[in-house]
Structure formats: structure tokens, C-alpha cells
Structure 1
Amino acid sequence: MGKATLGLAIVGLAGALFAMRRMFLMAAPSCLAGHWHGCYDTDNGIVFMLVAGLPVAALVVAALSRVPRADAWRKSLAEVGMVYGTVPMVWLTLQPGPGAGVVPGRLSLIPLRDLITMGPLGIGGNLVIFAALGFFAPIRFAALASVPRILALGAGCSVLVEIAQYVFQLDRVSSVDDVLVNAAGAVLAGLASRRWWRRPAAEPADPRLRACAY
């Protein structure tokens, strides 16, 4: 990663933290006290714990990188990034609404109909749900290093989330537009990491060399 890219990432992170300072201040008392209500069952609390846990995630990356294997740092960063960046986002989408368990599951299967009501905040939130997965998965797994496969991965994971929302009656609308935007977010994030994708080893062009490779 170049110095310019790293600098932009730091500036972007600092700007995001500043913009979210109020939501952090609202969630900090409950989260730091270890209370479930007001922390892990709120959007503010989940985002606060995600940011607060970054040093722990960095330590996990450092620990995994000591495991003897090829390209240890790259694999460790990608593995932790996929999990740490995706699980809290999925947890956010599975937060029950006020009518959870009472209101039956609702479906919206007409493409692009719900985009109008999402608004910029809703669209942005849906874009980032599987962004970490789309960014790190092709870095870790050569088999996923293509746009169609990242698209399929993001869409497949999103479909599972929407099914869970419907089956468990979480008082949320299971929408095809959520799947479309989630998958688009995974692809955009994947394209952002394209220069670091893990490529499969190329086979020798000469048949005799290919035979020797085996």
C-alpha cells in the first residue's frame, strides 16, 4: 500500500470518526459498562464497539501472522478483515424492529421499487454491509478474484440475510433491492482492492515445462 493511499485512508477514518462522534458519545456509557441494552442492541452501540475493537483486531492479525505459512501477513489481514468487517454489519441488519415476533415477514420482490424510499443513508448503509467481504475475500482466496464471483458472493450472503429477516419475523422488509445494493457494495469494494487480489499461479506455456511442474 502506497504512502498516499495510506494517508487518504487515515484522513478518511479520522473524518468518519469526527462525523460519528455524537453517536459514539451516546453509546459509550452503556458499552463501556458492559450493558447489553443500549449497546449491543442498538446501531450506535454496535458501530461504537466495532471502532473500539480495532486495536484488538490488529493484535489478532499480528498473532495470526506468526503462524508459519506463505504470505502470512497478507492472509492474516484478509481473514481478520473479512470477519471483523462483516459480522457487525450483518448483526446490524438482524436487529429486530418493534414488532418483531408479532408482525409477519414482509417481502418486496419488485426490483428498484424500494430504492426511492431508502434515501442516501439507507443506500450507503446497504453498500457497506458486505464491503469488507468484497474487499478482502479476493485478496485471501484466488478463486474469488473476479468481479462475477464477488458479485455472486455478495448477492448470496445478502439473500441469506434477507431470508433470516423474513423467517425470524424481525419486523423488517426482505427486499430484492437490499440484495442488489449489498452485492453492488461488495463489487465496488472488491474493485478498490483489485491491485492486491491473490492471483492463481500461471501454468507454464511450454507443455514440457507444465509436465515438469507436476
Structure 2
Amino acid sequence: MEQLWRTFGNLIPIVLIVTPMLVVGWWALAVRRRGRQAAVQAYWTSGLDILIALFTLPVLYLVFVPIPGGVNNISLVPGSEVAKAFTYSSEAAVMQILGNLVLLTPLGFLVPLRTARMRSLTRVILGAALVSIAIEILQAVLGIGRISTVDDVILNTIGAFVGALLALLCLKLIGVRANENPVRATRSEGD
């Protein structure tokens, strides 16, 4: 628990400050889009855009904030950093695995809801892998005391895949086909 507080404690004031701004941004964006879209559609797409931004900010914070005294390293052997973490502490290893799985899961869930083109698991996997690779390369180049590892890429991609599976399941449950707009598909003809 102490590790969680040290990792995420700085995010609490940021979230408290940013959340009201995001709510106002959601409303303003929806109002602006109402000229081009129906009201429900404008609020739906604006809400998803704001949620994507909301989940992107902590990702950027967590992967680009320097670790004081951290060592820059690159590990290209799958499983090696996870195995090494288990030699230090099983709790730390589990936190590392879960953290990397969860990192891109919200984006894997939200992006297919927002964009019909991303309702393909192959596209989500490819997109998540590319984003994760870019993050690892930037961490290595910036020298911020983090280990750039293929384990992170694999776990981030699996997390995004799980998020996309959940999104596609939700869309299927409400009867939305892959190329349909969720708002239009769920509204009746009389609306």
C-alpha cells in the first residue's frame, strides 16, 4: 500500500484540479459539436474524447516522470525483468505486472467505442504495441531512470487487448455492429 501511495500520491491533487476542467471541457466540446452532430452524438463523442484524455494524462505521468536514483537500462529478453522482479519481492513483481497490464487497458476499451476503425482486435493490438514501443524508446532516449523492457510492451499490449475485448463485448450486447455508431444504433426510429 505504501508503494501505491508513493507512486500515485502525486496524482491526487492533479486529478482534483483537472477533473472539473475536464467536465467543463466535455460540455464545451459537446456544445461546439452540436452544430454538426445530434445532441446525444455530440455528448457521446465528446465524453469519450475527454475520457481518453483523462486516461492518457496519468499514463504520461507514470511513464515519463523521472525516478530519482533510477538506472537507465534496456531489456530485450521477454520475461527477464518480470523474473528479476520476483527475485526481489513477489509483491513488487505482481505490482509491476498488474501496473503494466492496466496501463493501456482503459485506452484499449475507450478507443474502439470512439472510433469504428479501431473495432478490430488486430488494429488495437498493433496500435497498443506501437504506443508501448514508442513509450519504451522515449524512456530510453530521455534517460529518466527507467528500464525500457520488452516485458512492458507485451503486458501493455495484453492490457489494451483485454480492454478492446470488453468494449467489443459491450457493443455486441447493445446490438452495435463493427461499423455502426453506438448512439444511432441504440436509438429507436421514433427518437
TM-score range, shorter chain: 0.7 to 0.9
Specify the alignment match of 1:86 in structure 2: 56
CA RMSD, Structure 1 to Structure 2 (Å): 2.7
Structure 1 stretches (4+) deviating beyond 6 angstroms? none
TM-aligned CA distance change 1:169 to 1:147, over 3 Å: same
**Greater length-normalized contact order (CA 8 Å, ≥ 6 residues apart):** 2
Specify the alignment match of 1:45 in structure 2: 10
Find out whether 1:131 has 2:105 as its counterpart.
yes
Q: Which runs of 5+ in 2 are unaligned?
A: 86-91, 181-191
Q: Percent identity?
A: 29
Specify the alignment match of 2:45 in structure 1: 75
TM-aligned CA distance change 1:86 to 1:47, over 3 Å: farther
Find out whether 1:59 has 2:24 as its counterpart.
yes
Q: Which runs of 5+ in 1 are unaligned?
A: 1-18, 27-41, 202-214
Preserved CA contact (<8 Å) 1:142 1:198 = no
TM-aligned CA distance change 1:64 to 1:188, over 3 Å: same
Which of 1 and 2 has greater Rg?
1
**Which deviates more, 191-200 or 123-132?**
191-200
Find out whether 1:200 has 2:179 as its counterpart.
yes
Alignment size in residue pairs:
163
Find out whether 1:176 has 2:176 as its counterpart.
no
Specify the alignment match of 1:111 in structure 2: 78
Give the TM-score taking structure 2 as reference length.
0.74
User: Counterpart amino acid of 2:179?
Assistant: P
Give the TM-score taking structure 1 as reference length.
0.67
CA deviation after TM superposition for structure 1 residue 47, in Å: 4.4
TM-aligned CA distance change 1:187 to 1:48, over 3 Å: farther
Preserved CA contact (<8 Å) 1:135 1:191 = yes
